[in-house]
Amino acid sequence: MKKIVSLLLSLTLLIGMTGAVAEDEVTYTTLYSGEVTTLNYLITASTNEFGLAANLIDTLVEYDNYGQIQPSLADSWTISNDGLTYTFHIREGATWVKADGTYYADVTADDFVAAAKYILDASHASSTADILYGLIAGAEDYYNGTAAPEEGKEPAPVMEWDTVGVKALDKNTLQYTLIAPTPYFLSSTTYVCFMPVCEAFLNEMGDNFGLATGNDTLLYNGAYVLSEFKPQERTVLSKNAANWDADKVYIDKIDQIYNKEAASVAPKYFLDGTIDGFSVDNALAADWLADPVKSEYLHPVRQYGQYSYWYAFDYNPAFEEEYDIENWKIAVANENFRQSIFHGLDRVKAMTHTDPDNAEELIYNTITPPNFTVYEGVDYTTLGALKEISALGADTFDEALALEYKEKAVAELTDAGASFPIKMKMMFNPNVSGWADECQTVEQQLEGLLGTDYIDIIIVVGPSTGFLANRRQGNFAFMKVNWGADYADPETYTDPFDVIGGNSYRFTDEFTDVDLAEYKELLTAAKAITDDMGARYEAFAKAEAYLIEHAYMIPFGPGSGGYTASKLDPFSAQYAPFGISQERYKGQKKLDKPLSTDEYYDAYDEWLAARDALAAK
């Protein structure tokens, strides 16, 4: 009798939180604590915000669950022989609907032009405008012509829109003209800055377009509509019956319930069946893994390879004089010093603060993550000059070798006028769980091996707000940083090290003791290869290997690990290690119970085999 009463109470709670459920309706329910600040996908680069847009707005192409490009709003496309012009044929029957599902307009080529024109208007302050004007012919000049000039400078010439390489040739034919041949352009079109917008609706809404005030400030052409949007209460995504590919949407409703204490209450709600999934922190994972019942609910977080983390040296620091900038510059320019840190860092110990159970498996030796992209069935990180580096596993930690490099560095740095110990300011973000402990582990481990007479790692708490801006200003000597991919090509992971174009990762040769001439040449050569993907990948592998072999940075691994408890099938999801694909629910299936760890790895092995077979065709 007690069991029946308990069951009835649980059902009452579930219905109270999610509403009445249709007999055959599939609903996936979660909690959230971080609210979006805008629904305007044309201006945001926030994962939280474009993750929502990914389910509401379709793109020209999309990825399937094996990482293969598939038609979406474009049902076909052609590429000119010179690789500069992409012509897309917009699918007939694709429509814009309101939040209640009623028809508003057809999707046309003009919708993509309207979106580009909006983004390239500097007054809208789009966070993704640089991606467009970095690819599209005439786009940067047009953007500059819309921007207010800097004080004391002349305004840039105002350009006409017909000088920009985004054109609607007719209702269903869209054409992009690029600045230069770009082998990865198709993959770029899956990002938010290539999403369309209905121009008539955009004009109708004016400044109210995309305001986070309700679900009526947007139109929808994607897998879902925003059927309910009540900030700090709940967000509900309902299947868009009018979507051109609705039969591949297997979850009818995504019910996201706001709770500012989501992280702490999620385990209870999951166990009583109120929600269907949540992220499990390391402490809870340890408890659940020790429980024979709860352990069956957990499986590792799937690594998409979207973000890469590494330990960076700042070659142009701007920190306080108390940390002895000039002495640091002498030290960091010395390869033997960098090699002593490279081989002296026990990355597995550091990674235990991300995932105590699978730390070694998360470590990788390249800047580009494994499984990011393949060529003829072969992972990029195992091609050419990267093959031996990837094969080392976690074996770059070598105490004897680190001490050998230290001995050489001491002699050379003494001759160069350096003083010991070398101060190494290491900053961390206090908002990131486990980072402070990771820094302490790195400090104790490196100083314990190399000696406090050689290095003095000084851990500094970074600001809780504006941390990234603080790092970009050069307020560190040595710290963990990251980069996220923007498109499906190894070039995307050269951006932080692109001394040719400049960057905010403090990687520079503007003082003469750091010679990056060879890397510049390798990178320039790789970028120039646009008609032979095998040769292109080999060339980028050679450039990447150069940075690693000369210890200009220390590869680390992904930014997340640990476990999740979720009824979603992770291998039915769209797969791409960049952009918005992994944010989409289209294609995903809800399981009766979460995968266990063993079931996860069995499914992962099957997925890898199927993906590699497809890539090799």
CATH number, domain of 207, equals: 3.90.76.10
pLDDT on residue 487: 85
Averaged in consecutive runs of 10 residues, what is the pLDDT profile of the chain (617 residues)?
Answer: 35 37 80 90 87 96 94 98 97 97 98 98 94 95 94 92 98 97 93 96 97 96 97 96 97 96 92 95 86 94 82 92 95 96 96 83 91 85 95 88 98 97 95 87 98 98 83 92 87 85 69 76 94 94 96 89 90 89 95 95 92 77
Sign of the alpha-carbon dihedral angle for 528, 534, 537, 541: negative
Boundary-marking domain end, from 529, 557, 585? 557
Same domain (yes/no): 173, 320: no
pLDDT on residue 527: 93
pLDDT on residue 8: 34
Q: Please indicate, yes or no, if residue 116 is contained in any of the structural domains.
A: yes
Q: What is the pTM of this model?
A: 0.79
pLDDT on residue 431: 76
Alpha carbon distance 224, 242 (integer Å): 9
pLDDT on residue 511: 54
Q: For the chain, give the number of residues.
A: 617
Same domain (yes/no): 358, 500: yes
Q: Please indicate, yes or no, if residue 79 is contained in any of the structural domains.
A: yes
Same domain (yes/no): 327, 430: yes
Provide the residue range defining the domain that includes 334: 307-557
Q: Please indicate, yes or no, if residue 16 is contained in any of the structural domains.
A: no
Boundary-marking domain end, from 527, 557, 587? 557
Edge-to-edge order in the sheet of strand 74-79: 74-79, 85-90, 173-177, 166-170
Axis-axis angle for helices 533-549, 517-528 (nearest 10): 160
Q: Who contacts 4 (Cβ-Cβ below 8 Å, separation ≥6)?
A: none
Q: Please indicate, yes or no, if residue 153 is contained in any of the structural domains.
A: yes
Alpha carbon distance 377, 506 (integer Å): 35
Same domain (yes/no): 477, 332: yes
CA 173 → CA 78, 194, 569, distances in Å? 11, 15, 36
Q: Please indicate, yes or no, if residue 12 is contained in any of the structural domains.
A: no
Q: Please indicate, yes or no, if residue 522 is contained in any of the structural domains.
A: yes
Q: Please indicate, yes or no, if residue 68 is contained in any of the structural domains.
A: yes
pLDDT on residue 303: 76
pLDDT on residue 499: 72
Q: How many structural domains does the chain have? A: 2
Contact 555, 366 (CB under 8 A): yes
CATH number at 395 reads: 3.10.105.10
